[in-house]
Amino acid sequence: MRNKKMWIAGLLSLFIPGAGQVYVKKYLWAAVFFVLYVSLLVTVYVPSIFVAAIAVVHAVQTAGRQEAENMDK
């Protein structure tokens, strides 16, 4: 078995959680870390994108209403 470099394992896991574990042939841990990462990504990050989109729409609509009110005065 060839010598595994620690920095390569760390760098791989930095970019894709679980990839460093695949590099050192710890496939079960790789699956655990990857599934946890994807689960958190889907349940936390993806919904936050929708919240941000709603905030943008609300801000634009509110600014439009305020501009219309100021023109009426």
Helix (H) or strand (E) holding 26: none
List the chain domain ranges.
Answer: 6-72
pLDDT one digit per residue (tens) for the chain, 73 residues: 467 799 999 999 999 999 999 999 999 999 999 999 999 999 998 899 999 999 999 999 999 999 988 888 7
Please calculate the CA angle 6-11-15 and round it to the nearest 5 degrees: 150
Query: What element of type H or E holds 31?
Result: helix 27-40
Q: What angle do CA 58, 59, 62 make, to 5 degrees?
A: 80
Count the alpha carbons within 13 Å of 4 in the hemisphere toward its beta carbon. Answer: 13
